[in-house]
Amino acid sequence: MGKRIAIIGAGPAGIEMALAAMEAGHEAVIYERGSVADNIHLWGFVRMFSPWRMNVSSHGARLLEEMGVDLPPEDECPTGREFIESYLEPLTRHDLLHGRIEEGVEVAAIARKHALKHELLGDPERARRPFVLLLQRGPAEEEYAVADVVIDCSGVFGNHRWLGEGGIQAPGEKRIQRFVDYRLRDIRGRDRELFAGKTTAVVGHGYSAATALQDLVELRQSAPDTRIVWLLREDSPSPYPRFANDPLRSRDELAGFANRAAGGGVTGIEVHRGAQVVMVEQGDENNPMVLFVDTPDGEKRIKADRVLGLAGYEPDNSLYRELQVHECYASLGPMKLAAALLAEESAGGGDCLKQGPRTGAELTNPEPGFFILGAKSYGTRSTFLLTVLHQQVEDVLKLIDSLP
Ligand SMILES: Cc1cc2nc3c(=O)[nH]c(=O)nc-3n(C[C@H](O)[C@H](O)[C@H](O)COP(=O)(O)OP(=O)(O)OC[C@H]3O[C@@H](n4cnc5c(N)ncnc54)[C@H](O)[C@@H]3O)c2cc1C
Could you please report the per-residue DSSP string of 139-175?
A: TTEEEEEEESEEEE---STTSB--SSGGGSPPTTTGG
State the distance from the centre of ligand 1 to the C-alpha of 115, rounded, in angstroms. Answer: 31
Instruction: Over range 120-135, report the average pLDDT.
Output: 96
Please determine, for residue 219, whether its predicted confidence score (pLDDT) is greater than 80. Answer: yes
- pLDDT at position 350 is 60
pLDDT (tens digit per residue) in 316-372: 999 999 999 999 999 999 999 999 999 888 776 666 666 666 777 899 999 999 999
- pLDDT at position 272 is 97
State the distance from the centre of ligand 1 to the C-alpha of 377, rounded, in angstroms. Answer: 11
Give Dmax over CA atoms of the chain in angstroms.
67
Q: How far is it, in rounded angstroms, from Cα 296 to Cα 327?
A: 35
- pLDDT at position 140 is 86
With a Cβ cut-off of 6 Å, ligand 1 is lined by 8-14, 31-34, 37-40, 43, 46, 48-50, 106-107, 153-155, 157-158, 184, 208, 319, 374-375, 384-386
Closest CA to 294 of 232, 239, 240, 238: 232
- Tell which atom from ligand 1 comes closest to the C-alpha of 107: 42
- Residue 165: CB atoms within 10 A of its CB come to 14
Cα angle: 23, vertex 29, 30; to 5 degrees: 110
State the distance from the centre of ligand 1 to the C-alpha of 12, rounded, in angstroms. Answer: 7
Closest CA to 338 of 358, 368, 312: 358
Q: How far is it, in rounded angstroms, from Cα 271 to Cα 382?
A: 23
Residue with CA nearest ligand 1 atom 6? 48
Please determine, for residue 1, whether its predicted confidence score (pLDDT) is greater than 80. Answer: no
* Cβ(357)–Cβ(310) below 8 Å: no
The chain-wide mean pLDDT, for the chain, equals: 95
* Cβ(155)–Cβ(13) below 8 Å: yes
State the distance from the centre of ligand 1 to the C-alpha of 256, rounded, in angstroms. Answer: 25
Q: Is the dihedral of CA 75, 77, 81, 87 positive or negative?
A: positive
Instruction: Over range 68-95, report the average pLDDT.
Output: 97
* Cβ(262)–Cβ(273) below 8 Å: yes
Residue with CA nearest ligand 1 atom 22? 375
- Tell which atom from ligand 1 comes closest to the C-alpha of 77: 8
- Tell which atom from ligand 1 comes closest to the C-alpha of 207: 1
pLDDT (tens digit per residue) in 235-262: 999 999 998 888 899 999 999 999 999 9
DSSP 3-state helix, strand, coil percentages of the chain (rounded to 5)?
35, 25, 45
Please determine, for residue 46, whether its predicted confidence score (pLDDT) is greater than 80. Answer: yes
Tell me if the bond preceding 72 is cis, omega within 30° of 0: no
- pLDDT at position 90 is 98
* Cβ(19)–Cβ(94) below 8 Å: yes
Residue with CA nearest ligand 1 atom 10? 385
Closest CA to 119 of 108, 133, 129, 107: 129
Residue with CA nearest ligand 1 atom 30? 155
- Tell which atom from ligand 1 comes closest to the C-alpha of 316: 38
State the distance from the centre of ligand 1 to the C-alpha of 43, rounded, in angstroms. Answer: 10
Please determine, for residue 283, whether its predicted confidence score (pLDDT) is greater than 90. Answer: no
Q: Is 357 helix (H, G, I), strand (E, B) or coil?
A: coil
- pLDDT at position 139 is 81
Q: How confident is the model at residue 82 (pLDDT cuts 50, 70, 90)?
A: very high
Please determine, for residue 210, whether its predicted confidence score (pLDDT) is greater than 70. Answer: yes
State the distance from the centre of ligand 1 to the C-alpha of 79, rounded, in angstroms. Answer: 14
- pLDDT at position 285 is 83
Please determine, for residue 293, whether its predicted confidence score (pLDDT) is greater than 70. Answer: yes
State the distance from the centre of ligand 1 to the C-alpha of 155, rounded, in angstroms. Answer: 5
pLDDT (tens digit per residue) in 2-20: 999 999 999 999 999 999 9
- Tell which atom from ligand 1 comes closest to the C-alpha of 55: 11
State the distance from the centre of ligand 1 to the C-alpha of 209, rounded, in angstroms. Answer: 17
The domains located in the chain, with CATH, are 4-157+313-401 (3.50.50.60), 165-309 (3.50.50.60)
List the alpha helices (DSSP H) in 174-313: 192-195, 207-222, 249-262
Q: Is 368 helix (H, G, I), strand (E, B) or coil?
A: coil
